[in-house]
Structure 1
């Protein structure tokens, strides 16, 4: 009522009287909804009508802090503290200022002072918890938020923060113990059951997690988060049809998400229903066209089906969204190889390496394609790069041998061939696959035979 009266006053340019409590409620309302210009107007009028109000002066400090007028806020707080040295709000505002400046330990000291002066401790404990989080003191943060819960058992923000602290300390069993004790006091709290399930999920105790999620959705049949976690747990238990059913419930209860569509698609794929999988993957990318992972699921599915044309179409979609993903480029090259587009395959493998992917098999794949198209010197250059990272690998030595021998550099070729045989003699068969003319050379056959005899 007072808010309507105040806004009516602003429209008519009239001046009405409000008591102190009304002004506080009006100003706090505007601060909370982010309308600071209206909060300042109300504050100005409030101080005109109640110039001696310390509470209004403290709200003025709060507005100064929001506007980054820190020095003005500090000066006003000093004046207020002289008048009311035992006002807990003075120390709360001091803590807010010093925290904004990054001195969280001093802010904690001020808040502890406020705690000793106030009867309304819950808000101070909450602020203390946040300050402890800033300095990664998870134990004291957790204890502060637990104090909030002792005051208000339905303070779910504090409940989430307590669990977060346990998570950061990797104390998942302790979190479960705490949550079970909490549920004894508040048994119909779907949030607590959900959080117990999460802790069991982290510990890979999927059966126990499933029971917790069942309770969560039993308490609140419209709890989307509960169904979502239940579905993920059923996936982990390889109960794919049940997982699908629960993901579909989330689609009915809330706006559809690309994530849920993707998960449903993968469950169908695991059940061998590729038609349904494709349908849901397509729904996912329709819902979120920038979901590169969705395009990749389609790519992988069609690749597995040996439909390389469609796989190529979808990998291009994924790369358009995220061209810095080496795994995407690797799949791109694999597809291009299947389609005999060797230049594109080479480009893809080179992109992988340029993006920092230094896996040996990647270098080997690039060398083999370059060798196949007759780019022997370029293949050698790639092998030299690979050798700097991967030393004493038969895969590299035999390829060096084949290329040098093809290029009539006999000494280099023989040296690398011997190196390769010393590392892994059986792997010499790669020469037959890549360089049959080298492999069946009489001199090479004799060298291989002599080495094999020497090993016996």
Structure 2
């Protein structure tokens, strides 16, 4: 923020307190510009302040301090043109007014008119080369115009004049940070913090520089110091949460994002980050809630829509997942991963033709994965197109021979065709590598049951039940086979 030099009131506090209750009893006082000026300075009401200043102005139109204070009141009231007219009047009276240069430059900065501010300061620093505020304000405008080298020169000059100005050190550090001169930035932040440890922005800036250098533990400590000074700043909680996430301390990170959301409930970044972490921990309903909240802030957020789609998919709400993926593709139609996700959701929604079209789009966009081919095979199998399904399973195995689940799916497809021996070959290939695969054990047992090889079937179901006693399908099949064998034994 650009600095404006305050106009100091004359007299001590006791005198000013008396003036606050001063009444214009004498006619001579009514015609004294300084009295009206003091009354204006003593009131906090902007309208009354301006009224007093105007009375003073009528009595003394060349009272510089009065004009500066009037400009301040008018500018803050949104009457910017009138405020700048007063500066023209001051310069007409005193072309080299130091306070007018400072205040007008600051107003131009606040109004976003940096080029004009720089033009003004170019003259000011010639007249007042030892005024550090002129250099700081000039640096602020250069910085906002992204002329960082010039800004750095200005801050460096200001610090030559006043090396004890903590905020100037922070301004210089901020520019060094932007220029990725992070070690120098940290040194500058440390110089400023040595002068004033209670400016939280200094700690935040230092944390950002440490973060760029991947010194995450130190950055975290720095953000925590900033939070002690300003615990109500959502951005600092977010920075802390980001560091914790990088350090793989997700539960703590989530708590920090929650703190940020207590302060700013509609903070899109915190909502989305929370949803992202919750997805990693398979807390799908909570993730969905945060993704929905994020979408209220940014309805076209692709990541929030993806989380919504994925969360619904894992919650078994496949049609809702399908709708979310469709919304993403309406915005970004060339994302092959989303086409694959859409295909999977369409499969489980019973829309097999739509699923095949989705997988084909993904393949056309250059993303032919083993998993996608296997899912496409599933679509074909459900449509009764078994030969095409086998071609896709074989292609999936070519793409990834380690994808053992394909052998299970291929075996199930053979069982539908009552080609039981081929089905058993598929299950055995999988079980030779992964002997505790519950699905393959159960499916093999089912095929053996269909072949009336009950003892072998029971071995499969027993093995599955032994691995996981809560596997209900194997438990049920085991009971059926045991009953059949018992009946055969008694008959």
Structure 1 length-normalised TM? 0.67
Deviations 1:137-171 (A, max 9, x none): 55x74463255356385643652333432663635
CA–CA separation in structure 2 for the residues paired with 1:218 and 1:340: 56
Partner of 1:9: none
Partner of 2:86: 144
Partner of 1:426: 365
Task: Tell me by how many angstroms 1:369 deviates.
Answer: 2.0
CA–CA separation in structure 2 for the residues paired with 1:67 and 1:234: 40
SS in 2 for 1:226: helix
Contact 2:203-2:223 within 8 A present in 1 as well: yes
**Cα separation, partners in 2 of 1:184 and 1:373, compared to 1, 3 Å:** same
Partner of 2:212: 270
Compare CA radii of gyration and give the structure with the larger one: 2
- Trace 1:157-168 onto structure 2 (pairs within 5 A): 159-165=102-108, 168=111
Matched, 1:210 2:210: no
**50-59 vs 326-335, which deviates more?**
50-59
For these two proteins, the number of residue pairs brought into alignment is 372
**Cα separation, partners in 2 of 1:119 and 1:233, compared to 1, 3 Å:** closer
Task: Tell me by how many angstroms 1:129 deviates.
Answer: 7.7
Contact 1:394-1:420 within 8 A present in 2 as well: no
Task: Tell me by how many angstroms 1:357 deviates.
Answer: 3.7
**375-384 vs 324-333, which deviates more?**
375-384
Partner of 1:39: 22
The counterpart of 1:185, out of the listed 119, 127, 133, is 127
Partner of 2:278: 336
Contact 1:398-1:430 within 8 A present in 2 as well: no
Task: Tell me by how many angstroms 1:259 deviates.
Answer: 1.7
CA–CA separation in structure 2 for the residues paired with 1:94 and 1:307: 60
Task: Tell me by how many angstroms 1:287 deviates.
Answer: 1.9
Structure 1 gaps of 5+ residues are: 1-24, 74-91, 98-109, 451-456
CA–CA separation in structure 2 for the residues paired with 1:445 and 1:328: 49
Contact 2:238-2:257 within 8 A present in 1 as well: yes
SS in 2 for 1:312: helix
CA–CA separation in structure 2 for the residues paired with 1:307 and 1:419: 37
Contact 1:224-1:253 within 8 A present in 2 as well: yes
- Trace 1:143-292 onto structure 2 (pairs within 5 A): 144-145=86-87, 147-148=89-90, 151=94, 153=96, 155-156=98-99, 159-165=102-108, 168=111, 170-172=113-115, 174-292=116-234
CA–CA separation in structure 2 for the residues paired with 1:214 and 1:323: 40
Partner of 1:76: none
**Cα separation, partners in 2 of 1:217 and 1:33, compared to 1, 3 Å:** farther
CA–CA separation in structure 2 for the residues paired with 1:129 and 1:319: 36
Contact 1:300-1:311 within 8 A present in 2 as well: yes
**175-184 vs 156-165, which deviates more?**
156-165
Deviations 1:186-233 (A, max 9, x none): 111101111221122122221221111111011112222321211111
Matched, 1:351 2:293: yes
Task: Tell me by how many angstroms 1:316 deviates.
Answer: 2.6
CA–CA separation in structure 2 for the residues paired with 1:59 and 1:263: 45
Contact 1:394-1:421 within 8 A present in 2 as well: no
Structure 2 length-normalised TM? 0.62
Q: CA RMSD in A?
A: 4.3
**Cα separation, partners in 2 of 1:387 and 1:341, compared to 1, 3 Å:** closer
Task: Tell me by how many angstroms 1:54 deviates.
Answer: 3.5
- Trace 1:378-389 onto structure 2 (pairs within 5 A): 378-383=320-325, 386=327
Structure 2 gaps of 5+ residues are: 1-9, 393-491
CA–CA separation in structure 1 for the residues paired with 2:151 and 2:18: 40
Contact 1:330-1:348 within 8 A present in 2 as well: yes
Contact 1:153-1:186 within 8 A present in 2 as well: no
Deviations 1:57-84 (A, max 9, x none): 9859968x9699x9xx9xxxxxxxxxxx
- Trace 1:93-112 onto structure 2 (pairs within 5 A): 93=51, 96=54
CA–CA separation in structure 2 for the residues paired with 1:258 and 1:445: 68
**Cα separation, partners in 2 of 1:225 and 1:145, compared to 1, 3 Å:** farther
Deviations 1:232-287 (A, max 9, x none): 11111212122112212222323522221121112112223222112111111122
CA–CA separation in structure 2 for the residues paired with 1:286 and 1:135: 36
Deviations 1:363-413 (A, max 9, x none): 1221122112312133245457x3797486767666554433323244xx4
Contact 1:336-1:344 within 8 A present in 2 as well: yes
Contact 1:392-1:423 within 8 A present in 2 as well: no
CA–CA separation in structure 1 for the residues paired with 2:340 and 2:223: 43
CA–CA separation in structure 2 for the residues paired with 1:445 and 1:320: 57
**Cα separation, partners in 2 of 1:279 and 1:409, compared to 1, 3 Å:** closer
Task: Tell me by how many angstroms 1:32 deviates.
Answer: 6.0
Contact 1:439-1:445 within 8 A present in 2 as well: no
